[in-house]
Structures are given as structure tokens and as C-alpha cells.
């Protein structure tokens, strides 16, 4: 099977407006309680692909909604010359020995309570981050589940 290529269509995007749009959209779509904190003012606009960025954040939030118990936490901050979107959940988390593999296409964690999926969402997030010159990493959340940090460099 051939893989579709993602191409950047860069435009100036107001991060606060994007955050508000995604918060309103995902509050409706998620079954979990969504705690959303945007710490970026309306004066911050960056050059990025709006559609792909929406897709990356949506994939992370929907994964947290799928694998968390009842809470999803989103925090958007500016750190030095980057925008960092943190998405955390209160689920079982990802075993440390599997954390390095979850960004590979079609990789899924073997779990007796396995949720339905194709194992592409996190691979897409990784590709979107890299296209922007950024990154995505996973760690343990203070809420018990997984924590994903999507870092996108600020370009003007």
C-alpha cells in the first residue's frame, strides 16, 4: 500500500483562535471531561499549516479520550521559540518499553482491552510535527495515563 504524502500549506495562524476553535469542537466530540488551558494570548500568530496542526492536536486529544478513564487535560504554552501542546489522560498509560514504538505506522499496544484502531494516528502526529520542524514525545502523566508533548517551532 502506498502512503499518502503530507504537504505543508503554511499560513499565519493565531494560536488563541485555533485553541478556542479546537476546544469548542473537541468538547462536543469527546466523551471524557476535557480540561483545556491555553496560556497564549491573542497577540501570538505563527506560520504553520493550520489544517495539519488541527489534525495533530485532534488525534492526540481523541487518543486520550479513547484510552483515558474520564479526564483529558490539554495545555498550550509558549516556551522560548516554540508552541507546546501537552495532552494528558488518566488512563493506564503506555508501558515504558513500548513508548519508543508507538509513533511507528500500524503499531498498536497489545492489550486485552484493546480499542479498535489502525495504529496510524500517532504516526501522523509525528510526521506533522517533523514537517513543521518540531517533535512529539510521550511520557507518563501525573494523572496516571500518558502525556504527549507536541512541540512546534514559532516561525513568522
What does the pLDDT look like over 33-91, one tens digit per residue?
999 999 999 888 999 999 999 999 999 999 999 999 999 999 999 999 999 999 999 99
Q: What is the mean pLDDT of the chain?
A: 90
Report the topology of domain 11-153. Heat Shock Protein 90 (3.30.565)
Q: Which three cell numbers stand for residue 45?
A: 500568530
- By three-state DSSP, how is residue 80 classified? coil
Nearest to 38 by CA among 74, 76, 72: 76
Q: What is the DSSP letter of 31?
A: S
Assigned C-alpha cell, 20: 478556542
Report the distance separating Cα 112 and Cα 140, nearest Å: 21
Share of the chain above pLDDT 70, in %: 88
C-alpha–C-alpha distance, residues 54 and 99, integer Å: 23
Kindly list the distances between the CA atom of residue 53 and the CA atoms of 46, 74, 131, in Å, as whole numbers in the listed order.
12, 15, 10
Calpha distance 135→114 (Å, rounded): 26
Give the pLDDT score at 100.
85
Question: What pLDDT is stored for residue 110 in this prediction?
Answer: 62
Q: Which distant-in-sequence residues (6+ apart) come within 8 Å of 82 by Cβ? A: 134, 151, 152, 153, 154
Query: Per-domain residue ranges for the chain?
Result: 11-153
- As a whole number of angstroms, the distance between CA 92 and CA 121 comes to 19
Amino acid at each position: 500500500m502506498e502512503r499518502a504524502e503530507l504537504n505543508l500549506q503554511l499560513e499565519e495562524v493565531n494560536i488563541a483562535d485555533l485553541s478556542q476553535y479546537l476546544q469548542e469542537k473537541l468538547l462536543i466530540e469527546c466523551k471524557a471531561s476535557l480540561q483545556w488551558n491555553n496560556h497564549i494570548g491573542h497577540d501570538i500568530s505563527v506560520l504553520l499549516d493550520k489544517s495539519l496542526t488541527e489534525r495533530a492536536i485532534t488525534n492526540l486529544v481523541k487518543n486520550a479520550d479513547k484510552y483515558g478513564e474520564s479526564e483529558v487535560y490539554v495545555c498550550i504554552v509558549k516556551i522560548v521559540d516554540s508552541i507546546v501542546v501537552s495532552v494528558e489522560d488518566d488512563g493506564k498509560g503506555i508501558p515504558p518499553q513500548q513508548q519508543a514504538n508507538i509513533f511507528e505506522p500500524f503499531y498498536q499496544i497489545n492489550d486485552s482491552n484493546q480499542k479498535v484502531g489502525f495504529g496510524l494516528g500517532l504516526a501522523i502526529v509525528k510526521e506533522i510535527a517533523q514537517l513543521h520542524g518540531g517533535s512529539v514525545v510521550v511520557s507518563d502523566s501525573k494523572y496516571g495515563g500518558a502525556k504527549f508533548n507536541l512541540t512546534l517551532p514559532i516561525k513568522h
